[in-house]
Structure 1
């Protein structure tokens, strides 16, 4: 006869066994779910990196077969670099990357899965988990203007700027992407105009021009920005010729301090030409000029546009002319590229010089007005570009951008952020309803190439 106590003891043992089984299953579920999520996140990061790298690598090669092979090789290389062997004990499997060409658009698809080791649930007869993910990057045809600062403050960093700019260009497709190249200091030079109809760009010509860059002059940022927008808008809209993705990439190491203008002169016959009027960054002195608008650093040869005496050499070795003795007024509107016969044509007004926003500027030819107008103009040009659907990406080099300069002691990088409409831009200029670009800060020249690469990746992400 079995006693009541024995029967109770047996029931407790059964209940404990069942409870332990449930507990083991619960622990197994928690552990396995956590590991699965971690593996899936790592797979996502690896396939995302692989698809973006493949989209960039499509630029390499003269035909689709070579471009596809380069893209697939890049996808495999970046996936392996971003998914460590035996991560969390898993075994990853990358499927063959797909690269599809279709009317100027390339779609890269990357998928992968991972098999997890025998787990707690495996002990209960449940099959091992196999998380799987997929990423896709769509690389659209691109119209892009690249604007590079070649002012004198970059003299000792010039070789690094040149090397990084060439690396950046190599990430784009010379057969499909339209690219224009501009450099500026006092004036701005369109080294390689964007092709208005045919696709592609002459990489060899651009590399040669970049190699020949000389670093001297001031920072007439509005001149570089003016030509960047003009180049993109020179591509006609007829027959859907413009690319859906239009981008300006703007590099500088300082705050704007110069711009082109037809000035009003005390003696009207003194000067009838447009020239670049310039200030330094130390909030003192008088405006200098005038410099040619179409070359990097050269005074106007018409001596009526420059007084006969020199103000001297500034700290960058630039030969300054003191012009406030003869010039009586700045124009109401930016007119630096108007025809000489129509310097103040009311039909050619886009960007106000005399304004209360965001910095107050009057007509007087003073350091304050010229310095403020230079910053106002480049921001206004970038804003107008964004109104037209153009993305602006900016890259700043050096600690000077972190310091307040000019008459208002503003940081140069705040202007670059405003130009980009980046999410970290000052509240006065950020507009989430307009194309949001990116500002990348390179503290030293060793950060230049990574920054250019970050911008290239961001441009790819826009089209995803």
Structure 2
């Protein structure tokens, strides 16, 4: 019996040792799970804070007149965002954030940021660990940008308070872009298009001060020759720049559908046949006027190449848009059946109005085929009222230009760049619309 009791005691002692060892291991496993979970939460918060910081820096890097100012603004924005999104002492951790790196290289801006957090462990101390270190690094690359900015300055915008709102918000819109790396061309249009500030060849950057001066000097008057404006935007992107950026954009602001277009017209005055110019139709049935200088805002040609009733002068429309090359055959005028039928070259209200709209949509579609995003901003009540020979909405034309998913079924092509259309019903709505377009452009540039 004594032998059995002694054996039993030894067995109990062995079990106690096994239990003690197992308990230590169990505590270590539980500690590993608890402290690892804590580390995971810190890691997730650290990743989110650095990701947001480099994005904030990417937006702030556009501010400043030189790379030194831009670097300072970007680093300040990144640091402020990180501090706001990783609270001091989060889950008992101590964090160290590195200085954000801002690297400019041939128009591309690469932004990087690293951070490390340390937190004391509890249960894992049984395994010999005292501190858990967690690190994160994030990088954002801002693509190079080529943007043609087109502003409608037609007479329908010459309403109290509207010109001032257009000027102020167009200038504010430009402040979103990088004056040392982004390339921007500025133009405005009515009967014709004036390229205020063209691209400077392949040189990066743009002159925001000069553009601000030009926009502040805009006057508003004349008819809506939108196609000529888009032709000039494409020309700036395709020919002035020979080394395109990774992102190309046309931003088009207007308050109505087009009713005018430019070409070489056949007239009963031989001297007028050799001058490309603009022919205008009214928004409602009436007589055409023209011809107008296609390189000026609102300038009738000298006699005899201008008539208040242009049917006394112009005898036929060309079959192709040829305002810049009499032999160009890219955009048909007549005979066409879609999207609006123009069966012949007769100078009628229906034909001229339809041709103006067909040309605008065709030129925007060609820009998208070339890989250019088209963003449109529409202003005012005329856009949501039926007008023209087919009782169309101007907003539908602008949606078709931008290739938005809610555009007319005949327009939307998901295989092409999908842009954005924003409608501003009042002058106060211009600011959020311009802000939305800028945000979308900056989003796809990252």
TM (norm. structure 1) is 0.76
Q: CA deviation at 1:394?
A: 1.1
Does residue 360 in structure 1 map to residue 334 in structure 2? Answer: no
Whole-angstrom distance in 2 between the partners of 1:445 and 1:294: 28
Q: CA deviation at 1:245?
A: 1.6
**Distance verdict in 2 for CA 1:161–1:91, change over 3 Å:** farther
Does residue 188 in structure 1 map to residue 193 in structure 2? Answer: yes
Whole-angstrom distance in 2 between the partners of 1:428 and 1:196: 36
1:27-68 CA deviation, whole Å, 9 max, x = no partner?
xx9xx99xx8xx979985x77665444223212234434322
1:153-177 CA deviation, whole Å, 9 max, x = no partner?
1113011111111111122222222
1:189·1:294 contact (CA, 8 Å) conserved in 2? yes
Whole-angstrom distance in 1 between the partners of 2:87 and 2:341: 60
Write the mapping of 1:290-369 to structure 2, written as runs, cut at 5 A.
290-301=291-302, 303-307=303-307, 321-338=308-325, 343=326, 345=327, 348-354=328-334, 355-362=336-343, 363-369=345-351
**Distance verdict in 2 for CA 1:259–1:91, change over 3 Å:** farther
1:90·1:114 contact (CA, 8 Å) conserved in 2? no
Tell me the SS of whatever aligns to 2:310.
Answer: coil
1:64: which partner in 2? Answer: 67
Does residue 153 in structure 1 map to residue 156 in structure 2? Answer: yes
1:424 to 406, 411, 416: 406
2:122: which partner in 1? Answer: none
Whole-angstrom distance in 2 between the partners of 1:219 and 1:148: 11
**Distance verdict in 2 for CA 1:158–1:111, change over 3 Å:** farther
Whole-angstrom distance in 2 between the partners of 1:261 and 1:211: 30
- Which sits farther off after the overlay, 454-463 or 174-183? 454-463
1:76-126 CA deviation, whole Å, 9 max, x = no partner?
455677x6989x9999977754433333211234678999xxxxxxxxxxx
**Distance verdict in 2 for CA 1:102–1:325, change over 3 Å:** closer
Whole-angstrom distance in 2 between the partners of 1:91 and 1:289: 74
2:286: which partner in 1? Answer: 285
2:128: which partner in 1? Answer: none
- Which sits farther off after the overlay, 224-233 or 447-456? 447-456
**Distance verdict in 2 for CA 1:304–1:420, change over 3 Å:** same
2:261·2:356 contact (CA, 8 Å) conserved in 1? yes
Whole-angstrom distance in 2 between the partners of 1:48 and 1:352: 49
Tell me the SS of whatever aligns to 1:107.
Answer: strand
- Which sits farther off after the overlay, 272-281 or 154-163? 272-281
Write the mapping of 1:2-401 to structure 2, written as runs, cut at 5 A.
50-77=53-80, 97-109=100-112, 136-155=139-158, 156=160, 157-237=162-242, 241-265=243-267, 267-269=268-270, 271-272=272-273, 273-281=275-283, 283-301=284-302, 303-307=303-307, 321-338=308-325, 343=326, 345=327, 348-354=328-334, 355-362=336-343, 363-401=345-383
**Distance verdict in 2 for CA 1:65–1:305, change over 3 Å:** closer
2:123: which partner in 1? Answer: none
- Which sits farther off after the overlay, 166-175 or 443-452? 443-452
1:149·1:185 contact (CA, 8 Å) conserved in 2? yes
Tell me the SS of whatever aligns to 1:430.
Answer: coil
Whole-angstrom distance in 1 between the partners of 2:172 and 2:318: 40
Tell me the SS of whatever aligns to 1:138.
Answer: strand
1:459: which partner in 2? Answer: 441
Gap regions ≥5 residues in structure 2: 1-33, 119-132
Tell me the SS of whatever aligns to 1:383.
Answer: helix
2:317·2:346 contact (CA, 8 Å) conserved in 1? yes
Tell me the SS of whatever aligns to 1:324.
Answer: helix
TM (norm. structure 2) is 0.78
**Distance verdict in 2 for CA 1:368–1:84, change over 3 Å:** farther
Task: Kindly name which structure, 1 or 2, has the bigger radius of gyration based on alpha carbons.
Answer: 2
Q: CA deviation at 1:444?
A: 1.9
Q: CA deviation at 1:135?
A: 6.2
1:286-323 CA deviation, whole Å, 9 max, x = no partner?
2222111011001011x12223xxxxxxxxxxxxx111
Whole-angstrom distance in 1 between the partners of 2:179 and 2:368: 25
- In the alignment of these two chains, the number of paired residues is 402
**Distance verdict in 2 for CA 1:132–1:419, change over 3 Å:** farther
